Amino acid sequence: MVEMTGFFQGARFAWREVDRYMVLDRVNTKKSDSGDSTRPLRMLSYITAAMVSIFIAWFTGYIRVDGTLDTDGWFLLASGREIVHNGIPFENPWSLDPGQGIIVQQWLHDVWLYGWYSLAGYTGVATSVVVPLAIAAIAYYFLIERLTRGCRHQGITWLLYAVGFFHMFTYISIRPTLWSAGCLFVTLNILFAWREDGNVRALWLLPAVTLLQVNLQAAMWPLCLASCLSFLLPEIGELHIKTLKTDMVAWYTYRIPLLRACLLMCIASLFNPYGFGGAIYTVLSMGAASYGNVISEMRPFISGPDDSYGIVCTMVCIVIPIAIAIIKGKVPNTGMLAFWIAAVVMGILKIRCFWIAWTVSFVVCAYLCGIGRSGIGRKEEDSAIRLMPVLFIGVMLATSVLNASKAACSSDGTTASGWSVFDQETEPIVDALKGTDARIFSSDDTLMNYFEWEDIKVSYDMRPEIWAKAIAGERTHDDYKRYVDVVNAKSFKTLNDGYWDVAIIRKDEQRLFEKEVRGSEKIVSTSRYCLYRLK
């Protein structure tokens, strides 16, 4: 314990020495005759931040090796087309079994994507991510800049920004996640404008953010509400036992504007085509996607003790904010602390939520770096230095556009890139199935999304929640569970029960299928799949 105490004391001393140079003190310091003595250290911070930022921007194309196109895109485009031509669907238009209900939680995003498709085809769809990416990137930069405004040099700001936004690159796709990220960062900006700057009027923007988000991705609007609710918590030392009644009145009075905004957010969430059903989409969809642990993004972020990437990323989210807090002897405000803990827990439990854990962790780092210095102005830098964050965002967006365009036009036939090639390869199977009411089994469930785009009726797809009883109603046959059972069993023997009419099997599974499913008739064979008629 003595050794650990000595370590932390030494760390605090080292931090104070760096802080003396990197942070503008309230007392003006005199320059030596030879010039600014902090110049070498300041330039080192600029060079380090520049190298990290350029590396991250350059690395974007390698993180998204398949470009921005995603297999979910087929369903998103099909939904957008349906809404544009026929209005909001309340009965599943792609279901083989009539009468099933549906909630298209991202309907506005789907219309957005279909608009891009109408203008520029698949290339337009791929490059459409630039808009939500820009919104998320700029909102995150403003958030980090706001929290580090007390730091003397801007290099610290955009070093934290570049590293903090780094993990978002794995989410650069045509799915609506980037919209939700932008909404979260805007919400946090608003909360800190109220909490740190006393801007009560900014809270009126929160219901507008909710209104936008519930129509772009209804499942994620509670995330912004959770961040707001965390800021309702009392600060450490704000409530005292002896003066509890007086302190409670003061606490309540100060937070009335935020509490009012939270209530308005809940009301705003009802303003979607599905009303209350859309507002509670998160509750209705719980559990369905986790069945059988087939969907990778629903698994824990750390897959096992040998998952070094997951362990390192998780440790970064936890250790770095704690280390800065210990070194500086400071803690975040209660609201930020509570939301950070919740974000890390969400990120560890589900891969799809790890972007929340990563970005919020570096928001905490920025808060700790600038804590207590909100009244200190930042030293004016050269124009080139001030423009570097803008340059970084520009390079990042340009890289994303080029990578997206390349993926859309690629000759690679994977479902995530080269969609035009995939159209040609799948055409024989589509022609064989169109106009039939066959119950289709596919060992590759991404094909079901494509069939929806081709107006072929299906009985399940990659969104199990919309086929579960909570949303689809009692008429659902829950074929997704049948599909998962086959996948987890690693056997096709259950296809002999006569439930399915046809089966689409990957080429690498063809031999096993023909061995286990006797009497099946091969109808179509392509370079990827074989279509069989089952007896």
Does the pLDDT value for residue 33 go beyond 70?
A: no
DSSP state of 377: P
| Range with the poorest average pLDDT among 157-171, 246-260, 469-483 | 157-171
- The pLDDT score that the predictor gives to residue 28 is 40
Does the pLDDT value for residue 7 go beyond 70?
A: no
Q: Which helix (H) or strand (E) is 522 found in, with range?
A: strand 521-525
Residue 457 makes CB contacts below 8 A (sequence gap 6+) with: 94, 95, 96, 437, 451
* DSSP calls for 356-385: HHHHHHHHHHHHHHHTT-TTPPPPP--HHH
Distances, alpha carbon 348 to alpha carbons 229, 302, 325, 521, in Å? 21, 7, 22, 46
What is the Cα–Cα distance from 398 to 109, expressed in whole angstroms? 22
| Range with the poorest average pLDDT among 211-215, 288-292, 526-530 | 288-292
DSSP state of 531: E
Is 51 part of a structural domain of the chain? no
The answer on 144 and 249 residing in a single domain is yes
* Spatial contact of 193 and 145, defined as CB atoms under 8 Å apart: no
- Give the range with max mean pLDDT: 39-48, 154-163, 389-398, 518-527: 518-527
What is the Cα–Cα distance from 419 to 67, expressed in whole angstroms? 11
Q: List for the chain the helix, strand, coil content (%; round to 5).
A: 65, 5, 30
Domain limit, last residue, from 341, 362, 395: 395
Burial of 520 (0-12, 13-18, 19+ CB in 10 A): buried
What is the Cα–Cα distance from 105 to 272, expressed in whole angstroms? 9
Structure tokens belonging to residue 493: 């023997």
- The pLDDT score that the predictor gives to residue 402 is 57
| Range with the poorest average pLDDT among 26-40, 167-181, 212-226 | 26-40
Is 4 part of a structural domain of the chain? no
What is the Cα–Cα distance from 24 to 154, expressed in whole angstroms? 12
- The pLDDT score that the predictor gives to residue 49 is 59
Instruction: Encode pLDDT of 490-517 as tens digits.
Output: 999 999 988 999 999 999 999 999 999 9
What is the Cα–Cα distance from 286 to 326, expressed in whole angstroms? 38
The answer on 427 and 391 residing in a single domain is no
What is the Cα–Cα distance from 465 to 321, expressed in whole angstroms? 36
Q: Which domain holds residue 431?
A: 414-533
Instruction: Encode pLDDT of 92-121 as tens digits.
Output: 999 999 889 999 999 999 999 999 999 988
- The pLDDT score that the predictor gives to residue 377 is 47
Is 504 part of a structural domain of the chain? yes
Domain limit, last residue, from 395, 422, 441: 395
Is 91 part of a structural domain of the chain? no
The answer on 497 and 389 residing in a single domain is no
The answer on 492 and 375 residing in a single domain is no
Q: What is the pTM of this model?
A: 0.85
| Range with the poorest average pLDDT among 249-253, 357-361, 410-414 | 410-414
Q: Which amino acid type is present at position 137?
A: A
Does the pLDDT value for residue 522 go beyond 90?
A: yes
Which pairing describes strands 440-442 and 529-533: parallel, antiparallel, or unpaired? Answer: unpaired
What is the Cα–Cα distance from 137 to 131, expressed in whole angstroms? 10
- Give the range with max mean pLDDT: 43-57, 90-104, 239-253, 411-425: 90-104
426 or 419: whose pLDDT is higher?
426
Task: Report CA dihedral (220, 226, 228, 233) to the nearest 10 degrees.
Answer: 180
Instruction: Encode pLDDT of 312-364 as tens digits.
Output: 999 999 999 999 899 888 888 899 999 999 999 999 999 999 999 999 999 99
